[in-house]
Amino acid sequence: RRLPELSVEQYVEAIVAGDITRLSQAVTLVESTLEAHRAKAQAIIEGCLPYAGKSIRIGITGVPGAGKSTSIDSFGMHLIRQGRKLAVLAIDPTSEVSRGSILGDKTRMEQLAREPNAFIRPSAAGDSLGGVARKTRETIILCEAAGFDTIFVETVGVGQSETAVHSMVDFFLLIQLAGTGDELQGIKRGIMEMADGIVINKADGENVDAARLAAAHFRNALQLFPQTESGWEPKVLTYSGYYAIGIKEIFDMIDKYRHYTVDTGYFELKRQRQAKWWMYEAINDALKHSFFHNEAIKKLLPEMEHAVQSESITPFVAAHRLLSSYYNSISQGTTY
């Protein structure tokens, strides 16, 4: 049975009262591609904004198999036992291609999925990372308004999506595995530089020594990095997500980071910058969307591509012509 549609005000009221069913519905509106839904979603987000912001937002990344879902299950249970309320969101830029995201999948977080104080939402689908990321950022606001005090944003360690996650979280946690001594090789410097904490998973049984060794390697590598802007020194810890060993230490670290950055003012500064960054992202996205969906552009683009490839005009002249044609069609009011 479908629930009756609510007004924007009713949605906001229900979300702020902690109504999870309505929260889910509002997230569905956020994720919708229908213009009417999007407009309603924006109004709900605006209504929720005064109640949002009071959480710690934690980004969690690691390559497939690093143990993200196993760890999030254990991390989450640790928090729930302390009386916290946790929302687990995900950013998976490949979700459109792979038809159904593997990130933030409830079946992979068996204990958390049964917890009423945990809200798990798989990655939104979308044709661009920017779009998927925006929806997740907006979902954070709704979750915070609903009283979730801890937000996890999970992503897979393959590159660009980390930047998107980094731009919406307070603390960025990188999950690594001990390898053959060359564990630093495969990981991109940029990702390590983003990390506020690096945690080596599967430090259990015969793996314990290897994990400790890997931790030492990471600590050494981090020392070569310039000092972080916040003044916080990223920590390296070992733990076992599966056996739930060393979890408390990870959250002690995150609490320490929070206190430290709140005291210095960096916590707030970072959120302000992120807000500004998202404004520019939104502008970029909207302009791009408007440009590439413009009828005049759609017609002219193949021709210009061809001309550039056959070197009959330069890329800059082609770009200029396309932009002129776009501006003309805009000023004539024929955008579609």
Interacting residue ranges for ligand GDP, rule: CB under 6 A: 62, 64-70, 201-202, 204, 240-242
CB-nearer residue toward ligand GDP: 218 or 326: 218
Q: Provide the minimum distance between the beta carbon of 240 and ligand GDP in the complex, in angstroms, as a whole number.
A: 4
Q: Which lies closer to ligand GDP via its Cβ, residue 149 or residue 204?
A: 204
Residue with tokens 């407009």: 39
Taking the least distance from each CB to ligand GDP, the nearer of 232 and 242 is 242
In 3D space, the residue among 318, 13, 285, 308 whose CA is nearest the CA of residue 137 turns out to be: 285
26 versus 253: smaller Cβ distance to ligand GDP = 253
Q: How far is the CB of 314 from ligand GDP (least distance, A)?
A: 46
Report the nearest approach of ligand GDP to the CB of residue 57 (Å): 20
Q: At what angle do helices 35-48 and 129-145 cross, to 10 degrees?
A: 40
**Min CB(168)–ligand GDP separation in Å:** 20
Query: What letter does residue 61 receive in the DSSP assignment?
Result: E
User: In angstroms, what is the minimal distance from the CB of 245 to ligand GDP?
Assistant: 8
Q: Give min distance, CB of 171 to ligand GDP, in A.
A: 18
| Closest separation in Å from C-beta 69 to ligand GDP | 4
* Cα 43 from Cα 26, distance rounded (Å): 11
Residue whose CB is less far from ligand GDP, 242 or 251? 242
Q: Can you tell me whether residue 59 is helix, strand or coil? A: strand
Is 60 within 8 Å of 175 (Cβ atoms)?
A: yes
Specify the residue, 130 or 246, whose C-beta has the smaller distance to ligand GDP: 246
User: What are the b/e assignments for 188-207, b being 16+ CB within 10 Å?
Assistant: eeebbebbbbbbbbbbbeeb
Q: What are the tokens at 94?
A: 């490949």
Q: Cβ–Cβ contacts within 10 Å for residue 97, how many?
A: 9
Rounded (5°) CA angle 238-168-66 = 30
Indicate the residue among 53 and 100 with the shorter CB distance to ligand GDP.
100
Question: 83 vs 205, which CB is nearer to ligand GDP?
Answer: 205
65 or 83: CB nearest ligand GDP: 65
- Give the strands of the sheet with 235-238, arranged side by side: 118-120, 86-91, 150-156, 56-62, 171-177, 197-201, 235-238
Nearest residue to 249 via CA among 31, 291, 53, 240: 240
Q: Contact, 79 vs 86, CB < 8 A? A: yes
- Cβ 74 to ligand GDP, closest distance in Å? 8
Its sign, for the CA torsion 264, 191, 286, 127, is negative
Task: Give the shortest CB-70-to-ligand GDP separation in angstroms.
Answer: 3
Position 205: which residue type?
A: G
Query: How far does Cα 275 stand from its chain's mean position?
Result: 14
Identify residue 329 by its one-letter amino acid code.
S
